[in-house]
Chains A and B, each alone.
Chain A
Amino acid sequence: MTQVARPAPGKPRRLDAFTLASEPGNERLALTRVAGTVKDLGLSEARLERLKTAVAEATMNAIEHGNGNRAEIPVEVEVTLDGDDIIIAISDQGGEAHAAAQNAGDPEEPDLLKKLDGAQTPRGWGLFLIRNMVDAMNVTTDGQRHTIWLTMRTGGAAHAEHV
């Protein structure tokens, strides 16, 4: 098995960076490539699967809500190793509009019983899944750029804290 050299403390190391066209389905490309990049970093199979789901959902959000499914606007993905933390940054060009749309479309935690009773739309699971799949989730937004940061500790237990 190939061992990926750990960065010195305090010196994050970029492992990969790539862009994707904003077309539905391209989240599969992101999850496959990220999984390949981190496969030798010691994540258990279960935690690797969780990370793949989080990457796919964050990329879907960027494609759909951030870039409006406009293929010519790229989604940017960057994978960094910072000590024991794998950090995935997924950026779109939706800026504040993405954050506002997300808040408007997903104003409350998904509640399955409400969804079954028609009181909530069946959709709205994306951010919920991301939060539950990774160890930490953060979002940064400026006028142009909206980025979701996913953190997975290579030796850690899984429960998301989010900001």
Chain B
Amino acid sequence: MPNMCEATTRIVPGAAVIELSGDVDGTAAAILTSAYDRAVNAHDGPEPIGTVVLDFAAVDYINSTGIALIVSVLARARAERRSVVASGLSPHYREIFDITRLSDFIELFPDLDHAVSQLTSHAAQA
């Protein structure tokens, strides 16, 4: 049965993390947009947020409308000169990211720990 999408945000060194749960479908539009706004605006450090992590580990379902929402987030991030990475996708949704070519523009990590670890390491080196 459908599960409403929910999103929580937090800042880690070098990135803003949006942890999604439930269904990423048409009902997720306002939730995802609002989460993106919170994620990139909550930060008060000297450098703007350069990377947004979308974590899908708790997502049950993504449909074509959800793919369109992710495309919109990616387009906005690119316009703002931010990169987007994704973590926690199931093998099936990784395949869909490959088929749609989203994975050409969004680096995929197996889980959030791997993503944060790499981003934090890059931030420390910068």
Q: Are A125 and B100 in contact (CB under 8 A)?
A: yes
Contact between chains at B92 and A112 (CB < 8 Å):
no
Tally of contacts, chain A with chain B, CB under 8 A: 67
Q: Point out the residue from B25, B64, B78 that lies within 8 Å of A123, measured CB to CB.
A: B64
Say which residue of B61, B72, B90, B105 sits within 8 Å of A122 (CB atoms).
B72
Asked if A122 contacts B71 (CB within 8 A), the reply is yes
Q: Is the CB of B105 within 8 A of A24?
A: no
The interface on chain A, measured as residues whose beta carbon lies within 8 A of the other chain's beta carbons, has a size of 28
Q: Which of A7-15, A48-56, A80-88, A140-148 contacts B (4 or more CB under 8 A)?
A: A48-56
List residues of chain A with CB within 8 A of the CB of B78. Answer: 116
Render A33-72 as a binary contact track against B, CB cut-off 8 A, 1 for contact.
Answer: 0000000000000100110010011001000000000000
Is there an interface contact between B63 and A60, defined as CB atoms closer than 8 Å? yes
0 or 1 for each of B97-118: is its CB under 8 Å from A? (1 = yes): 0011110110000000000000
Most buried by A among B25, B63, B65, B104: B63
Answer whether residue A135 sits at the interface, using C-beta atoms and an 8 A cutoff.
no
| Interchain nearest-CB distance for B21 vs A (Å) | 16
The answer to whether A118 has its CB under 8 Å from any CB of chain B is yes
A122 pairs with B75, CB closer than 8 A? yes
Query: Helix, strand, loop or mixed for chain B's interface?
Result: helix
Which of B69, B71, B100 has most chain A Cβ within 10 Å? B71
The listed residue with most A CB atoms (<10 A of its CB), out of B26, B27, B90, B104, is B26
| List of B residues within 8 angstroms of A132 by Cβ | 99
The answer to whether A27 and B63 have CB atoms under 8 Å apart is yes
Which residues does chain B contribute within 8 Å of A29, judged by CB atoms? 1
Q: Using a CB-CB cutoff of 8 Å, which residues 45-104 of chain B contact chain A?
A: 61, 63-65, 67-69, 71-72, 74-75, 78, 90-92, 95-96, 99-102, 104
Q: How far is the CB of B36 from chain A (nearest CB, A)?
A: 14
User: When the two chains form the complex, which single residue of A46, A60, A115 contacts B92, counting CB atoms closer than 8 Å?
Assistant: A46
Q: 9 A–B contact pairs at CB < 8 A?
A: A27-B63, A49-B91, A49-B92, A50-B95, A53-B96, A116-B71, A122-B69, A122-B72, A123-B68
Q: Contact residues of B with A, CB < 8 Å?
A: 1-2, 23, 25-27, 61, 63-65, 67-69, 71-72, 74-75, 78, 90-92, 95-96, 99-102, 104-105
Q: Give the 9 A-B residue pairs with the shortest CB-CB distance, closest first.
A: A49-B92, A125-B64, A122-B68, A122-B71, A123-B68, A126-B64, A112-B101, A116-B75, A25-B2
